[in-house]
Structure 1
Amino acid sequence: MRITLVQGDITRQEADVIVNAANSSLLGGGGVDGAIHRRGGPEILAACRALRASHYGRGLPTGQAVATTAGNLPARWVVHTVGPVYSTGEDRAELLRDCYRNALRVAEGLGARTIAFPLISSGVYGWPLDDAVRQALHVLDTAETPLEEAVLVLFDEHAHRTALAVRAADA
């Protein structure tokens, strides 16, 4: 799978799947989650409400992933995953890696060829930027998947420069 690092707005990425760094309610929020719901339109919220009414009454567990329509986004589907909140007292890296693994698995099940990820848990969930990149790239670099391309979308120039530096250091 080809892995590309880009600076930009995840809601403008053209891919079969756009990954949403969702909160467990699946009903929208701030950051990437809010942006995806706003730009994607009411179809995404309606699909998320249906998931809450059927399979995820208590919300989507951390590290798991589920797909909905992409509404008005330039994608076919949104795969929602809930990242862990960073903790200095507990190693939650496996849960963060599970977000990427499970999103890939759901995308494969949909027949997707391309997927765009935000940097999960690196915003309000407080995950240190360089380690968030390292965890994402670890999963993407080692994934055995029929997907052709994964794009890691970094929101700003600082995050993009950090990702490029981590990529170069780990190469």
Structure 2
Amino acid sequence: MEFTVVQGDIASQEADGLVNAAGTSLQMGSGVAGALRRGANGPINDEAVSKGPVELGAVAVTDAYELDAEYVIHAAAMPHYGDGQATAESIREATRNSLAKADDLGCESLVIPILGTGAAGYEFEDGARLVCEAIRDYQPTALSDVRVIAYSQREYEVLERIAEDVRKSA
């Protein structure tokens, strides 16, 4: 499917669904999870934790509270046990499951970060390729506007280059 690349704070995005880069416990700590928790300004962390723990690669859905979205899809790309590190398979699976859940919910728009990087330890460039490939290969039923988001200018530039490569290899 087609997708676009954007830069900014995921908590300030407007979409039907926002994807949280979660761990299997669904506890919302720092990074993307922290930004969404703060932006939601409600009991989103309590609601998320009540739906966990989940298997690695699985997703759970909560209300978005005061975020400009209907849902937050918590995608468990990293384990909250062992070494806590994401894998290529956990990133692919969490991305595919996020897209499928958004479709199941009837979402037309979705914003997704590069799952498994940051605290989960996966190299940003490699994670970006996995996320972009999973989106490219996904066959949507409701989704028509998928945006992959990077926070920093440097990450945005890397993501933009990788997204272009992935689109060309389709």
Q: Which runs of 5+ in 1 are unaligned?
A: none
- What SS does structure 1 have at the residue aligned with 2:6? strand
Report the AA paired with residue 131 of structure 1. D
- What SS does structure 2 have at the residue aligned with 1:111? coil
Q: For residues 45-64 of structure 1, what are the structure 2 equivalents within 5 Å?
A: 45-51=45-51, 56=52, 59-64=53-58
- What SS does structure 1 have at the residue aligned with 2:3? strand
User: Which of residues 157, 161, 165 is equivalent to 1:169?
Assistant: 165
Q: Does 1:66 align with 2:78?
A: no
In the other structure, the counterpart of 1:32 is 32
TM normalised by structure 1 equals: 0.87
In the other structure, the counterpart of 2:74 is 80
Q: CA deviation digits over 1:120-169, x for unaligned, max 9?
A: 11111121111111101111001011210110010101111101121233
Label 1:91 to 1:77 Cα distance change in 2 as closer, same or farther (>3 A): closer
Cα deviation, residue 83, structure 1: 1.2
Q: For residues 17-166 of structure 1, what are the structure 2 equivalents within 5 Å?
A: 17-51=17-51, 56=52, 59-84=53-78, 92-146=87-141, 147-166=143-162
Task: State the Cα RMSD in Å.
Answer: 1.8
Cα deviation, residue 84, structure 1: 3.0
Q: CA deviation digits over 1:79-100, x for unaligned, max 9?
A: 0011137xxxx99312210011
Cα deviation, residue 49, structure 1: 4.1
TM normalised by structure 2 equals: 0.88
- What SS does structure 2 have at the residue aligned with 1:36? helix
